[in-house]
Structure 1
Amino acid sequence: MAATILVAFDESPQATAALHHALSTYDNATIRVLYVNDPWEWAGADGIDGVFYAEEAFERSQEVAEEVIATAEEIAREYDTEVTTESEVGAASETIVAYAEEHNVDHIVLGSHGRRGLERFLLGSVAERVVKRSPGSVTIIRDEPPDGDE
């Protein structure tokens, strides 16, 4: 039976490198790409005339999610590979781990920004929380994607 690989994808250079890694490393695997639409990222967005409108912010976040997923599918086509793509709303690390548990994921691949010191302490580390809570193994990619693939 083929392994199921989950790639957390947010279009950052690190996530892009993680997707390239998964596509080039796990030839016979089922690859699932997950974009987590984190409300903390869109809830503070500027609204119209400086007024925040939750419905508009959520709608815009859904549009962004569709764009990110389309980018992941485009990258997969470069490898002549079909991937399963999904977008879920929630806190990134918790949603990634819950998704992995619900879909019997064997391995998670995700990018890390490699923050250190105070910045890491204040912002936390999604990658670190996923590693600690993951039901299976995790590969962290900190490299940039191949030239021209940003």
Structure 2
Amino acid sequence: MYDRILVPTDGSAETERVVEHAAELAEAHGAELHAVYVINSATFASLPMETSWEGISDMLQEEGESALEDVRRVAGRYDVDLTTHLVEGPPNKEIVRHAEREGFDLIVMGTHGRGGIDRLLLGSVAERVVRASTVPVLTVRVEKTETTAKAETVEEVKGSS
């Protein structure tokens, strides 16, 4: 049923569950597994002009490579062929464009399951992909792990000092 599966990653710890799910599907179907990380340079458009774009570009590239390395580590536990891709642009548009252009049979991606005002204010890459993609999308609900939540709380406390 599935020959080519795409799993977008944002590099978060919660993505591991999504990659595991995609790798299990790929293994069960004998499918190729592809991971994509989208460098969203638009998030840095509001930085002061004096900021070195070269330094930011390098940092974003490194973040993407690190996220894809995490996918390699998780997918390595399964009997699947993995190919990774690093692209740049708006994440939802690039995920859909990549999946449709490269002929994927399925996109497997995480969703935080936000509702109400959080969803309205924050938006959802997964929701936009589901709405725009002609390729079927399987969403895997991810929640922050206790360790991740504690780490973020520590960072928030540090940031407010």
- Alignment TM class, shorter chain as reference: 0.7 to 0.9
Give the Cα separation in 2 of the matches to 1:2 and 1:109. Answer: 12
Match for residue 110 of structure 2? 111
Partner of 2:31: 29
Quick one: percent identity of the two aligned structures? 34
How far off is 1:69 after superposition?
Answer: 1.1
- Structure 1's consecutive aligned runs of 4 or more residues displaced over 6 angstroms after TM superposition are none
Normalized against structure 1, the TM-score is what? 0.85
Q: Secondary structure of 1:33's match? A: strand
Q: Which runs of 5+ in 1 are unaligned?
A: none
Task: Give the 3-state SS of the residue equivalent to 1:104 in structure 2.
Answer: coil
Q: Does the Cα contact within 8 Å between 2:8 and 2:95 map onto a contact in 1?
A: yes
* Equivalent residue number for residue 87 of structure 1: 86
More helix by share: 2
Asked if 1 retains the 8 angstrom alpha-carbon contact of 2:26 and 2:80, the reply is: no
Alignment of 1:41-60 (within 5 A): 41-44=43-46, 51-60=50-59
Aligned to 2:16: 16
Alpha carbons 1:73, 1:82 under 8 Å: kept: no
Using the size of structure 2 for normalisation, the TM-score is 0.79
The AA in structure 1 aligned to 2:39 is N
| CA distance, structure 1, for counterparts of residue 133 and residue 86 of structure 2 | 19
Which ranges of structure 2 fall in alignment gaps of 5 or more residues?
Answer: 148-161
Contact 2:11 2:63 in 1 (8 A): no
Q: 3-state SS of the aligned residue for 1:72? A: helix
| CA distance, structure 2, for counterparts of residue 70 and residue 43 of structure 1 | 27
Offset, 1:17: 1.3
Q: Of the two structures, which has the highest relative contact order with CA contacts closer than 8 Å and spacing of 6 or more?
A: 1
How many equivalent pairs are there?
145
Q: What is the root-mean-square deviation of aligned Cα atoms in Å?
A: 2.5
Secondary structure class of the residue paired with 2:87:
strand
Structure exhibiting the larger radius of gyration computed from Cα positions: 2
Deviations, residues 88-113 of structure 1 (Å, cap 9, x unaligned)? 01111000000011100111000012
Report if aligned partners of 1:17, 1:145 keep a CA contact under 8 Å in 2.
no
1:127 equivalent in alignment to 2:126: yes
CA distance in 1, matches of 2:144, 2:18: 8
The change in CA–CA distance for 1:120 and 1:145 in structure 2 (over 3 A counts) is: closer
Question: Deviation of residue 40 (structure 1)?
Answer: 2.8
| CA distance, structure 2, for counterparts of residue 135 and residue 6 of structure 1 | 13
